[in-house]
Homo-oligomer: A and B are copies of this chain.
Amino acid sequence: MTLQDILDPQLDASFKGFPQNTAPLRRSAVAAQGWNVLDGDLPLPLAIVKRDAVTHNLSWMQRFATERGVDMAPHGKTTMSPQLFRRQLDAGAWGLTFATVGQVRAGATTGARRCLIANQVLSAADLQGIQSLQQEFAGLRIAFLVDSLAQLALIEAWFSAQPQATPFEVMIEIGVPGGRTGCRTHADALTLAERLHQSSATRLVGIECYEGGGASGKTEPDSAYANALMQRVAAIALACDAAGWFADDEVLITAGGSAIFDLVAEQLKPQLSLPVRGLLRSGCYVTHDHGFYKRMVNAVNQRLGCEDGLHPAIEVWASVQSCPEPGLAILAVGRRDLSYDLDLPTPIAYSPRGGRSIRTAPADWTVSALNDQHAYLRWTDAGSALLQVGDRVALGISHPCTTFDKWRWMPVVDADYGVCDALVTCF
């Protein structure tokens, strides 16, 4: 797959949300179609990305990192969109983060040459995959996580049978008791670090943690939690530095989801003898949302004294297909089209059929349930039947990752819902 294939692919009517009567066209030709979402030029349901919100978020987050002397390695698994990867790199990102070896391919094809895999890699297929990617993309740097001697043994066994292989760049993951992956204790981390230093299969290039799993949205416990974790990361980095176990002239220290990223960003640069590159891996910031991340980032904004933080950029528009009972409208949109893992979607606006007018959704509208291809929109004041069959409803989502993976393309819209660009995804 070439750079043009991935940045400017051909779209056609086999893509959900593309008009059935339009000939195939390249992504770069979408803007010239003159489509407007409110004019009904595109079939619903449709997930759209608001251009101005994305531009704001890219620059807001890059500035946030720069002001703290750290770099961005945004998590690409959120969007898996080459067009957004390119925007993130152009905005100043040091590199990109991914969850799997296969995902790295999309980043490398887009032009990223520094990729973190925020996961343990250990299978022969994945270790070989990293070597293959590095042969295919000149200068591609890939560093992944290690958290156990058992994992290292698998890496070494594979490496010793591959005389052509180059050593793997690895970071030790620091985890928390009751949490997910990662070394649970200081001693375990140092035992592993020494072995990684000694191994011919690995080069220890940094220390990693993920604080997002412990975020509550309440500043007091979140600060205590993040501080304790980052102090452990710093102590382990200091010990590895003192022992001379880091393999490079620069040490990577990385953390960061999109929920309490401000609480870790300040602590990504412990004082070592070697220069430190602090890397923030937030992914969801790029489109933000109307649910979980909105709640979490409200607390971030309060801590920062920020009055214009991240803007929600994704809306999923759907038709009212039936109003079968008082207080109930059935929308033609469902689990195939938007997130439902953290919260059900939130009605944010509606547009009566046949026009471009948009009205704010009443506060008593809720989506009470989703089926695969249907949503149940309910309101408590059954007398106020504002919606009719054929009207359009905009839903805000909670958790960008699980909406992006339901679309092969998404139109990018201007402030008037004119389609000014498009992005594709590579899940």
Contacts and interface: CB of A to CB of B under 8 A. Distances in A.
Contacts of A182: 322, 324
A43 B181 contact: no
A167 to B, nearest CB: 18
A334 B20 CA distance: 33
Interface in A306-327: 319, 321-325
A389 B16 contact: no
A398 interface: no
A129 B178 CA distance: 52
A48 interface: no
Interface stretch (A50-58, A85-93, A118-126, A235-243): A118-126
A274 interface: no
A396 interface: no
A99 B177 contact: no
A98 to B, nearest CB: 9
B323 A148 contact: yes
Contacts of A101: 20, 43
A374 interface: yes
Interface stretch (A263-271, A285-293, A402-410): A402-410
B102 A20 contact: yes
Interface residues of A, number: 79
Nearest to A43: B125
B21 A1 contact: no
Contact of A372 (B1, B77, B321): B77
Contact of A341 (B20, B125, B184, B340): B340
B129 A330 contact: no
Contact of A150 (B120, B154, B323, B372): B323
Interface in A326-351: 330, 332, 335-336, 340-341
B20 A180 contact: no
Contacts of A179: 324
B123 A319 contact: yes
Contacts of A1: 12, 14
A340 B148 CA distance: 29
A376 B106 CA distance: 27
B106 A14 contact: yes
A321 B390 contact: no
Contacts of A323: 148, 150
B373 A180 contact: no
Given A43-B101, A101-B43, A123 B181 contact: no
Interface in A218-265: none
A119 B332 contact: yes
Interface string A399-425: 001100110100000000000000000
Contacts of A352: none
A128 B43 CA distance: 10
B123 A43 contact: yes
A427 B426 CA distance: 12
Given A18-B102, A405-B406, 4 more contacts: A21-B132, A43-B125, A180-B330, A372-B402
